[in-house]
Amino acid sequence: MRERATRRGRTLRFGVRLHVIVRETSEEAWAAADSLISRLIDEDIARSQQNFAKMDSVGQRRMAELHGGRRDRLETSPNLWAGVGLARGGAGTALVGDAQTVAERLQEYVEAGADSFVLSGYPHLEEAYRFAELVFPLLPGKGRVTTGARQTGGAFDIRVVDRVR
């Protein structure tokens, strides 16, 4: 897509929206993920999934297809957990693991073409601090650069990643 856009004199950027659940160890991260949905009962999940099925959103339909409302199908690829989507609409996948693993998975998204990330977690502030303390030190080019009204640079700026390789 980038090549096609370039031929037309345009530039495309790609972003990823994810939750993150990062802890000192992968075991602690997975326990935290399980804890997030530990109080959900099957009836709550079924009701939420029925409501999501009524929506016109293709993204919401695809989110539901990842797990089918089933607790035993929540790890949809390595370290990608769809548990948030059992009861919450919208972005419902999370990267789960220790700092090194989460940094590696994010780098894989960069290598696939992502250059922007919207990351969050539960609870929001606490997870943001954990991510900053544990993952940021592992990422290249941590500095943020602002050009005009547009933020460039930072840990996932493709120009930084290319220089690191």
- pTM of the entire structure? 0.78
Answer yes or no: is 154 within a domain. yes
Residue span of the structural domain in which 22 resides: 12-164
Answer yes or no: is 70 within a domain. yes
> CATH number, domain at 59?
3.20.20.30
Answer yes or no: is 124 within a domain. yes
Answer yes or no: is 3 within a domain. no
The pLDDT tens digits for 67-79 are 888 888 899 999 9
Answer yes or no: is 2 within a domain. no
Domains contained in the chain, number: 1
Spatial strand order in the sheet of 15-23: 75-77, 80-81, 94-98, 15-23, 116-120
The pLDDT tens digits for 88-141 are 887 789 999 999 999 999 999 999 999 899 999 999 899 999 999 999 889 876
